[in-house]
Amino acid sequence: MQRQILRVNLTDGSIRQEDIPDKVGRDFIGGRPLAARYIYGELTGGVEPLSPENILIFSAGPLAGSGAKGVNRWLAVTKSPLSGGFIRSVGGSDFGAWLHGAGYEMLLITGRAAEPVYLYLGPRGRVEIRPARDLWGRGTRETQDELRRRHSPGARVACIGPAGENLVRYANIVSGHSTAARGGAGTVMGAKKLKAIVVGAEPDIPVANSDRWSRLLAEQQELITSRDQRAPLPGAIKGAVLPARNFQATWQADADTVDQPHLLERKGPEFQTYWALGANPGHLDLEMVATANDRCDDLGLDTVSAGGSIAFAYELHQRGLLKAEGFDLGWERPEATMELIRMIAYRAGIGDLLAEGVQRAAEHIGSGAMEYAMTIKGIEMPGYDPRVRPLHGLGLAVSALGGSYCYGKALHAALFAADREGEDLVEQASRIQETTVALEAGIGCLFAYLGGWLPLELMAEMVTAVTGTEVTPENLQAAAERSLTLEKAFNLREGLGREADTLPERFLREGVAGSGVKAEPFSRLPELVQAYYRRRGWDEEGRPTPATLDRLGLELVRLDQPPEFKVAFSREITR
């Protein structure tokens, strides 16, 4: 069955739909690998992330809206305003189902509108760019309510808040109660003057093989009924060892957030937010963290980067490197954290500096501030200490996504239990990455995979039944490898080479102790990175070798080309 993308140029208002070429669909399947293929092939190297030329992709998986469980997530893929490299941010809710139901697996957005606009995808293929001047400045909750009032109560909305409008470099995109948070995709949306995307057409996904599809849906339901449903809960923090005070120490959480009815009623926050807005700034008042999370979501801020920026400011104040006139920075001050969230979103006072992200703020401050910048490739780190969990630390260091934590979430046992005895860290990290990206080819939920009711074998069969193109687990694995290599090639083209595949110096030279945990510096990281390169088929500089590119069929990757090189998309599809 023919699969389609929608191209929207906000500069000239042009809109067109096109088919996904059969060969590209076979090689990259969908979701993250497919988006990586388009953005690598079509974005000119060296483009500024906040320029009109940057590309912003919204990707729904080939199964979204089909009736299968755990496959309705969506991705925002772009060049990150924080790292300058490849980023994909995962959104929950069912926006992906409605986007696919409108007829498109991907929206590919370029250009910049002269005035704020939103994109409306209505019934019967209707697509319109509409004015949004009256929505500019509104929070994400009010924006969604107003757009549903205008179009239909059931319409799905993905939008930005004031943080994205004000080009805070870690602005997120919000849909319902879910966010695509990491890397600044909402900032790119704000730079394009795109306030929201509204989908008003209910999902209606055609299936190539209806008999096979019915059998697979029944098989999945049986798995859901029979399997252990106790996959790790995203809000569970009791007993977890959390980094504290900008990774200066560790702290063991004694709060059971899953057993807090008032927090369940407000739908969160999740694990990373509890850490980022609680333990990292030096306090953990559950109700305050929940309120801070609500404020971040309404303003359109990534909670992990916001918390990392605030903790960075607190440590600089602790060390006498930063003062804010008329504002008392310091640990264990929840009220300061709440106020800084607002200041960052509106770029007020010291919030203007912190809105640039930790790395740029450190470069601006100088005086050794970079020593306390807990970022990877310019993106603020998640709430796991690489010295305590070296497997996760290696995965973060070599990830094209920088400080994003979603690689590690593929196998939670590798994070919360001891690293597996007798297994090679490089092999584990590589397998986790490949599993995660293979799952994201169908944009499957990691918790559905962990719960046992969305194994890759079943997902491959489902993609086959829906699209009519035979897909095997081996095809998913190959697409994952292609995506990982394309993401690396993208970063290399943007100047993120071997020196970027590391962790902050604090982890390499300082140990950590606290809450019964003691860990030495992660001094062996450089040798593990080199071993990872060999495992991937890359040279010692982290560049995919010609043999690897040939094996993966990535003729479009030319690492010897100048940065301004751009691949015409039609170049590969004629083969």
pLDDT in tens, the chain (575 residues): 689 999 999 999 999 999 999 999 999 999 999 999 999 999 999 999 999 999 999 999 999 999 999 999 999 999 999 999 999 999 988 999 999 999 999 999 999 999 999 999 998 889 999 999 999 999 999 999 999 999 999 999 999 999 999 999 999 999 999 999 999 999 999 999 999 999 998 888 999 999 999 999 999 999 999 875 555 555 667 777 789 999 999 887 777 766 666 665 666 688 889 899 998 998 878 888 989 999 999 999 999 999 999 999 999 999 999 988 888 888 888 899 999 999 999 999 999 999 999 999 999 999 999 999 999 999 999 988 999 888 889 999 999 999 986 554 434 444 434 444 445 889 988 998 999 999 999 999 988 888 889 999 999 999 999 999 999 999 999 999 999 999 999 999 999 999 999 999 999 999 998 777 889 999 999 999 999 999 999 999 999 999 999 999 999 887 765 555 444 433 333 22
Strand partners, 169: none
CA distances from 56 to 21, 441, 496 (A): 20, 18, 20
Contacting residues for 115 by C-beta, under 8 A, at least 6 apart: 131, 133, 193
Question: Phi-psi region for residue 90, left (φ > 0), alpha (ψ -120 to 50) or beta?
Answer: beta
**Nearest alpha carbon to residue 99 among 219, 31, 199:** 199
pLDDT at 421: 45
Per-residue tokens: 416:
């919360």
CA-only gyration radius of the chain, Å: 22
Q: How many CB atoms lie within 10 A of CB 141?
A: 15
**Nearest alpha carbon to residue 247 among 307, 335, 162, 180:** 307
Per-residue tokens: 524:
């062996």
Euclidean distance between CA atoms 107 and 98, whole angstroms: 12
Euclidean distance between CA atoms 195 and 135, whole angstroms: 7
pLDDT at 558: 76
Evaluate whether 271 touches 237 at the Cβ level (below 8 Å): yes
Euclidean distance between CA atoms 445 and 69, whole angstroms: 9
pLDDT at 514: 79
Per-residue tokens: 46:
């060296």
pLDDT at 267: 63
Full DSSP string of 305-374: HHHHHHHHHHHHHHTTS--BTTB---TT-HHHHHHHHHHHHTT-TTHHHHTT-HHHHHHHH-TTGGGG--
Evaluate whether 155 touches 199 at the Cβ level (below 8 Å): yes
Strand partners, 56: 109
Q: How many CB atoms lie within 10 A of CB 574?
A: 7
**Nearest alpha carbon to residue 100 among 177, 156, 172, 27:** 156
Looking at residue 148, its amino acid is R
pLDDT at 37: 97
Evaluate whether 507 touches 468 at the Cβ level (below 8 Å): no
Q: Quick one: 566 exposed, middle or buried, by C-beta within 10 A (0-12, 13-18, 19+)?
A: middle
pLDDT at 419: 47
Angle at 392 between CA 512 and CA 432, to 5 degrees: 170
Looking at residue 422, its amino acid is G
Euclidean distance between CA atoms 274 and 482, whole angstroms: 35
Euclidean distance between CA atoms 464 and 424, whole angstroms: 34
